[in-house]
Amino acid sequence: MHKYSVICPICKEAQDPMSLTCSKGHDSLLHTSYKTSQIVLKDLPGIWKFYDWLPVNGIIPEGSGKTITYKSEAFAKEMGLSNLYIAFNGYWPEKHASMMTCTFKDLEAFPTMQRLLEGLDKRIMVVASAGNTARAFAHVCCITGQPLLLLVPQNSAHRLWTLQDDTSSICLVTVEGDYYNAIELANKVSVREGFVSEGGAKNIARRDGMGTVMLDAVLAMRTLPMHYFQAVGSGTGGISAWEASIRLIHDGRFGNALPQLHLAQNLPCAPLISMCSGGAVTKEVLHEKCPRDMYDDVLFNRKPPFSVNGGVRDALKATGGRMYGIDNAAAAYAHQLFEELEGIDINPAAAVAVAALMEAVKNGNIGHNDSIVLNITGGGMQRLHRDHNLISITPDMRVSAHDPEAELKIVEKVAEKFKR
C-alpha cells in the first residue's frame, strides 16, 4: 500500500489517486485512506507538519502557514465559557500565525498545487472564487510559477492581492455576475484541452488540507472537542472537519465521540439552511440582496454539496449538527466584540461564526464547561497591511456572464497571456 489510497464511500473501491469522481459513476465525495493510522507531527514547516494525513508525496517549503490553536481567555470569559479554543487562520506574529493570505484557503491551495506538480501536470489550473480561494491559489502559483486562470465576480476583484513581486503566472478574469456565474464559466473552460479544474469540494487535497484545522485543534487540546463552529458557504469546511474527526477517532488517542458541527450562514442568503429544512433555494438565489448586501458575500454558494454522499447533509446527520442563520447586525456586533476582546482583526466570514457561537450560548445549545473549537477562518488582514507591502493583481479582462462568447474570449485571452 502506498502512503494513501482514494476510496469511493459507496462501492468501497479504490480510485485513481487524481480522480475527482467514482469510476462507476456513484454520486459521492471520494475520501482518502491513509497508511498511517495515528497522526505524528513531522519536523516540517506549516501545514506540512501533518504530512502523514495529506494526499501528497512532497512539499512546497514556502507553504509555511498553518492553523494556530490557543485557549481563549477574554472572549471566553465574556461568553461564560471555560473551555473555548480559537483555531486562528491568518496573520498574527505574536501568536506565530503566518498564513500570509489571511485566509484558511491557504490550507487547500498548497496541497492541491503539490499534487498537480507531482503529476507533472502542465495544464493551466482554473479556479473560480468570490475572493479568498482566488487569493490563496494566486499566492501559491506566484511561488511555483504554475499558470493559473482565476475567475472572480467583478465586485470581488479588490480581494485579489499578493506579497509576491511576480504575478505573471496569473490570468485574472472578472465576471459581471455572482460567484455561481464565475463557477459556471470556470466549469466550461476547465474541460477544454490544456486546462484543469482544481475540483472544489470533490478535491481530496482541499478537504484534507482544511481538515488540518481540526487536527491542530485536537493536538492542542489533546482531545476531540464536543463542538465545532464555522461559517460556511459551500459547507466543505464542515465536511472536512467531520472527516478529520473520523480519522482522529480511529487514531484511538483523542476520544470516540464526533464533535457536533455548528455551521453558520449569512441571512437571508442561506441556501444550506433552506436545504436542511427540506425547502428549495429559489428565494435565496433570486433575492435581490444576495450576494450584494451580505455581511460577507464569500459565504454565498447557490449549489453547495449538500445531498451528495459524504456531503453536508451526511456530516450534519452524523454529528447531530446544527445550522445557524446570522443576520448582518448580529455579525457586525460579534465582529466588534471579538476584536476588542481577543486583540486581532478578523475577516467578516469569521465574524458570522462568532455570532453563531454567541447565539448557541444564548439558546443553551452548548454548556458553559463544554469543550469548543471556534474556527476563525481568516484574520489579521489589517495587521498584514501595516507590516507588509501588498501588490494588487490587475485584471486581464472582464466578461459578462450573459455573453454567449465569454468562454471563447477567456480562452483566447489565456492563450495570449501564456503564449499558448
Q: What is the pLDDT of residues 50-59, one digit of tens each?
A: 999 999 999 9
| H-helix or E-strand spanning residue 114 | helix 106-118
Per-residue pLDDT, 284: 52
CA 44, CA 42: separation in Å to the nearest integer?
5
The pLDDT tens digits for 213-250 are 999 999 999 999 999 999 999 999 999 999 999 999 99
Per-residue pLDDT, 119: 86
| H-helix or E-strand spanning residue 218 | helix 212-221
Per-residue pLDDT, 280: 61
Per-residue pLDDT, 211: 98
**Residues of the chain above pLDDT 90, percent:** 88
- Categorize the per-residue pLDDT at 178 as very low, low, confident or very high, splitting at 50, 70 and 90: confident
The pLDDT tens digits for 323-376 are 999 999 999 999 999 999 999 999 999 999 999 999 999 999 999 999 999 999
The pLDDT tens digits for 154-170 are 989 999 999 999 999 99
**419 has pLDDT over 90:** no
Strand, coil or helix: what is 148?
A: strand
Per-residue pLDDT, 291: 83
CA 107, CA 267: separation in Å to the nearest integer?
27
- Categorize the per-residue pLDDT at 303 as very low, low, confident or very high, splitting at 50, 70 and 90: confident
Per-residue pLDDT, 90: 98
| H-helix or E-strand spanning residue 126 | strand 124-128
The amino acid occupying position 235 is G
**CATH architecture assignment, domain 68-102+206-384:** 3-Layer(aba) Sandwich (3.40)
Mean pLDDT of all residues in 284-313 = 86
Q: What are phi and psi of 356, to 5 degrees?
A: -65, -40
Return the CATH class of domain 124-193+390-418.
alpha beta
Q: What is the DSSP letter of 294?
A: -
Residues with Cβ within 8 Å of residue 384, at least 6 apart in sequence: 90, 91, 100, 102, 390
Q: Where are the domains of the chain?
A: 68-102+206-384, 124-193+390-418
Mean pLDDT of all residues in 162-191 = 92
Mean pLDDT of all residues in 11-34 = 96
Per-residue pLDDT, 406: 95
The pLDDT tens digits for 253-291 are 999 999 999 999 999 999 999 999 886 655 555 566 788
- Domains 68-102+206-384 and 124-193+390-418 alike in fold: yes
- Residue found under cell 470581488: 156
Mean pLDDT of all residues in 89-93 = 98
**Residues of the chain above pLDDT 70, percent:** 97
